[in-house]
Chain A
Amino acid sequence: MSQRPELAHNAAGRAVPTMVNGKPQIPFLGVGKFQPRGRKSGPPIRSNKDYPDNGDKRLPDLETALRKCGLRDGMVISSHHHLRDGDKVALMALETAAKIGVKDLLWFPSASFPSQKGAIELMEKGVIHHIEGSMNGPLGDYCTQGKMRGMGVLRSHGGRYQAIQDGEIHIDIAVIAAPTTDPFGNADGSHGKSACGSLGFAFADSTYADHVIVVTDNLVPFPCVPWQIQGNNVDHVVEVESIGDPSKIVSGTTQITRSPDRLLIAELVAKFLRAAGIMKNGFSFQAGSGGIALAFVQYLKQMMKDDGVKARFVRGGSTKVLVELLQEDLTDYILDGQTFDLDGVKSMANDPRHVATSPFTSYNYHGKGNFASLVDAVVLGATEVDVNFNANVVTHSDGRLLHGIGGWQNCLFAGCSILAVPSFRDRIPVIVDEVTTLTGPGEMIDVIVTERGIAINPKRQDLLDAVKGSKLPIRPLQDIKTEVEKICGKPARPELGDRPCAVVKWVDGTILDTVWQVG
């Protein structure tokens, strides 16, 4: 980055750039305050005539497909993270583009993973101009060290959908890795040797991109049933030896945390849900894949059995733990955005009550409503929380990129959003005066559960009333913070740079905060 962009202070009081990668930006205005008008963006009109009547859209290789899509300098290439750290397709596409000789691509992944660190070399060579999507590990360091030519843009899963619909990002070529596909391009994620479950992250790209390439290692004759991606949106189908490393696509076993302290937090979460009356017949909840989130479901499950309570639906990231709820008839449905382990993949393939969803159904800001706000309670993590319940999930407290936003921001719209966090990690307090990077405004965060007690946002008098008289350790957040500082000492505030290297978008596309260059 050559020059420092102009900064403005947004409604959360954070200094944010007014221009990002050459596009003017709107600083965060407050939750629910920004409602753009006009029309949604769209892909170019196509006609059946352009496609073979026999429905066979196969091409011999990715290079041919990319050339057919008219790949050229500066284009936006998208990819998806349903194969997680095992994905081979995104890098394959970018490296093929390098071979073709194009420059200055914008890579638009739904998330990047450490195994894709090869993208650094492509940025060094000028093939990729910059990345808009989550970055962590080596890619995160590359960005926060200010080495990327453009600014990183971090969006939630729903925010990515919104950016596509708003036309802020127009995808030239979407490359979709598909565990099973037919020659027409119908694609499914829950079958095949590289099965990963839901393909939901690719849904927006398949409907809005100019060109859509499906890459598979399991081609079946038409029709591929079920189809999560509709072949009617697909231009080309490419068969390759392998789309991913199965051992890294899903974990064979689901690890529930064994740390006694984390288990204590998980149990407090479950107890809170019961005491607050949220756990009742017909309720719903969402649990992530983190160790605490998995463990909390174990405790809740026992309480549901003890009290004879059944959920209407639970939302994944699905794992063995959620699948067991379904199998033991403790929930009617799993609505699944991402499948984390083999049990989840198998269940989605075989059980019609285990339903694949996408960021469109679940999280999209421009949808006519979304599922996230229908969920009664969600349990999430965070790296930092401040005394006003503002939270950070994207950076370490020293400012380096750590996580993508994922569905985290979108999930805050649930009836009760709970952050389950240890009160300190390796002496570093989690509850701070001011978060390093604001990812979720405090008004959206209802409960913080730590091993040292539960803090309820004073804005949620209803929750405070609901647990009154329970034996739960309900405490002001400031109290927990003071106790932890007594143990750890008050931390100095790490010095951040004054040059923005990435921005954090709120679900509506406005800029919530800035990630500053470090080191």
Chain B
Amino acid sequence: MAAEAPPRITEAGHWGREVRSDAHVAFEPRDTGGVEIALESRVVPYYGNAILEQSRGVLDELGVKHARVSIHDEGALPFVIAARLEAAVRRSGAALGKRSLPAQHSQPPASTKDRLRRSRLYLPGSEPKYYINAALHTPDAFILDLEDSVHRDEKDAARILVRNTLRAVDFGACERMVRINQLPLGLEDLAEIVPEGPDLILMPKVEDPQQVAEVDRMIGELKSRHGVIRPIWIMPILESALGIENAFPIAVASENVVAVTIGLEDYTADLGVTKTLEGRESQYARSRVVNATRAAGVQAIDSVFSDVADMDGLRRWGESSRALGFEGMGCIHPGQIRVVHEAFAPTPPEIEKAQKIVAAFEEAQEKGLAVVSLGYRMIDPPVVQRALKLVERARAMGVIW
């Protein structure tokens, strides 16, 4: 059976009254006549010429010599326009494997294995309006999501958009995560994303350590092929009963796994129970994740809290989550970030106590004593270690200086 011919006109992106910071491109290849571009945009008086010039450059890089292109722009930034053009051209099959990469913004320093991961802000992979200001809300990390927030017909376009976003947007000190799709689709995501050196790949619906190993191998290959030397960490998401049962083997499946998290919507659906505000139904699974990650020496990260209007509920969830042993959770709205940071910060009495222990420890070190004591009480080495870690974390969080 012959492959179906691509449609004569291919499209990508979005436009309309409700759309902001995006663009829609309709692309029609032709055999002669050069490139013709029709542009509609509110910003024509300011950026009309710039958009036309940019579009010609992008089409040229993609090897397009003759085409009719119509662009409906809704105030999209250049990296978005480029992504929508490329998606439309690639959908037509005309790009022949060529890419058009926007200029590379200077990358932040490479991420470390045990950095703070209190909050990770989800950014849907097909909603460019959220990207440019995401870092202003200072989450510890953001996730460019290619999985559940992207319609299956949009996966290819989202991949290109996310790739351009990683190159062009300044995300400040935030860790830059990408959630790929389940394998095998996720492998296509990696091919587009890994060359841009994201800090961490989130793997959805992991049930088997083999899946992690496969992704890890693929990342390794792509890194060496594209000369990426930054580490790219992995955070598996456990979203099923089987995934939870395999938490430990998954956590140790690769040395690049730095954290394991849990997806409660899918997990509770798998159990056939209702997700509640108190989360009793997932208590076991969450504790299991914490235990497995501790055993593996990586971080335990909690799910998201989905009612963005309920800040008190979020705070309670975050505090109980920290009490269970989690070090952070996901955020689906920037307004949640501060509450999450507060919930995962050590309390003042905890800090005070830890500081006393650290002082006693330093004093003992200075005196060359093996035993640390506070008043008449001897402090066990693990307690000292915990205090040292807590003070270091509190400092990193800016809770103490």
Contacts of B132 in A (CB 8 A): 487
Report yes or no: A491 in contact with B46, Cβ–Cβ below 8 A.
yes
How far in angstroms is the closest Cβ of chain B from A479?
Answer: 14
Report yes or no: B77 in contact with A487, Cβ–Cβ below 8 A.
yes
| A426 interface neighbour in B21, B133, B334, B335, Cβ under 8 Å | B21
B289-337 interface (Cβ within 8 A of A):
333-335
| A260 interface neighbour in B43, B47, B334, Cβ under 8 Å | B334
In the docked arrangement, what's the CA distance between A500 and B132, Å?
38
A263 at the B interface (CB under 8 A): yes
- 0/1 string, B334-371, CB within 8 A of A gives 1: 11000000000000000000000000000000000000
Task: Across the interface, name the chain A residue whose C-beta is closest to B54.
Answer: A489
Report yes or no: A427 in contact with B76, Cβ–Cβ below 8 A.
yes
Contacts of B133 in A (CB 8 A): 260-261, 264, 451
Contacts of B335 in A (CB 8 A): 260, 263
Contacts of B137 in A (CB 8 A): 260, 264
Contacts of A495 in B (CB 8 A): 45
B136 at the A interface (CB under 8 A): yes
B: number of interface residues (CB 8 Å): 22
- 0/1 string, B55-89, CB within 8 A of A gives 1: 00000000000000000001111100000000000
Q: Contacts A397-B46, A426-B20, A426-B21 given: A264-B136 contact, CB under 8 Å?
A: yes
B226 at the A interface (CB under 8 A): no
Q: Contacts A426-B75, A427-B75, A427-B77 given: A452-B45 contact, CB under 8 Å?
A: no
B283 at the A interface (CB under 8 A): no
A492 at the B interface (CB under 8 A): yes
Contacts of A487 in B (CB 8 A): 77, 132
In the docked arrangement, what's the CA distance between A452 and B137, Å?
11
B42 at the A interface (CB under 8 A): yes
| B136 interface neighbour in A398, A425, A451, Cβ under 8 Å | A451
Report yes or no: A427 in contact with B333, Cβ–Cβ below 8 A.
no
Q: Contacts A263-B335, A427-B43, A427-B75 given: A492-B50 contact, CB under 8 Å?
A: yes
Q: Contacts A264-B137, A426-B20, A451-B136 given: A492-B74 contact, CB under 8 Å?
A: no
Report yes or no: B50 in contact with A428, Cβ–Cβ below 8 A.
no
Report yes or no: B333 in contact with A426, Cβ–Cβ below 8 A.
no
A: number of interface residues (CB 8 Å): 19
Q: Contacts A426-B74, A426-B75, A488-B77 given: A260-B45 contact, CB under 8 Å?
A: no
A410-464 interface (Cβ within 8 A of B):
425-428, 451-452
| A491 interface neighbour in B20, B47, B136, Cβ under 8 Å | B47
How far in angstroms is the closest Cβ of chain A from B142?
Answer: 13
A486-503 interface (Cβ within 8 A of B):
487-489, 491-492, 494-495
B29-43 interface (Cβ within 8 A of A):
42-43
Contacts of A451 in B (CB 8 A): 133, 136
Q: Contacts A261-B136, A451-B133 given: A489-B334 contact, CB under 8 Å?
A: no
Contacts of A425 in B (CB 8 A): 75
In the docked arrangement, what's the CA distance between A426 and B133, Å?
13
B49 at the A interface (CB under 8 A): yes
Report yes or no: B45 in contact with A427, Cβ–Cβ below 8 A.
no
Contacts of A263 in B (CB 8 A): 335
Report yes or no: B136 in contact with A492, Cβ–Cβ below 8 A.
no
Report yes or no: A427 in contact with B47, Cβ–Cβ below 8 A.
yes
How far in angstroms is the closest Cβ of chain A from B135?
Answer: 10
Report yes or no: B47 in contact with A398, Cβ–Cβ below 8 A.
no
How far in angstroms is the closest Cβ of chain A from B392?
Answer: 21
Report yes or no: B49 in contact with A427, Cβ–Cβ below 8 A.
no
- 0/1 string, B77-109, CB within 8 A of A gives 1: 110000000000000000000000000000000
Contacts of B20 in A (CB 8 A): 426
Task: Across the interface, name the chain B residue whose C-beta is closest to A489.
Answer: B50
Q: Contacts A487-B77, A488-B77 given: A428-B136 contact, CB under 8 Å?
A: no
Report yes or no: B21 in contact with A492, Cβ–Cβ below 8 A.
no
Task: Across the interface, name the chain A residue whose C-beta is closest to B81.
Answer: A427
Q: Give residues in B with beta carbon < 8 Å to A.
A: 20-21, 42-43, 45-50, 74-78, 132-133, 136-137, 333-335
5 further A-B pairs in the complex, CB-CB below 8 A; given A264-B133, A426-B21: A263-B335, A426-B42, A427-B77, A492-B49, A495-B45
Q: Give residues in A with beta carbon < 8 Å to B.
A: 260-261, 263-264, 397-398, 425-428, 451-452, 487-489, 491-492, 494-495
13 CB < 8 A contacts A-B: A260-B133, A261-B133, A264-B136, A397-B45, A426-B20, A426-B42, A427-B77, A428-B43, A428-B75, A491-B47, A492-B48, A494-B45, A494-B46
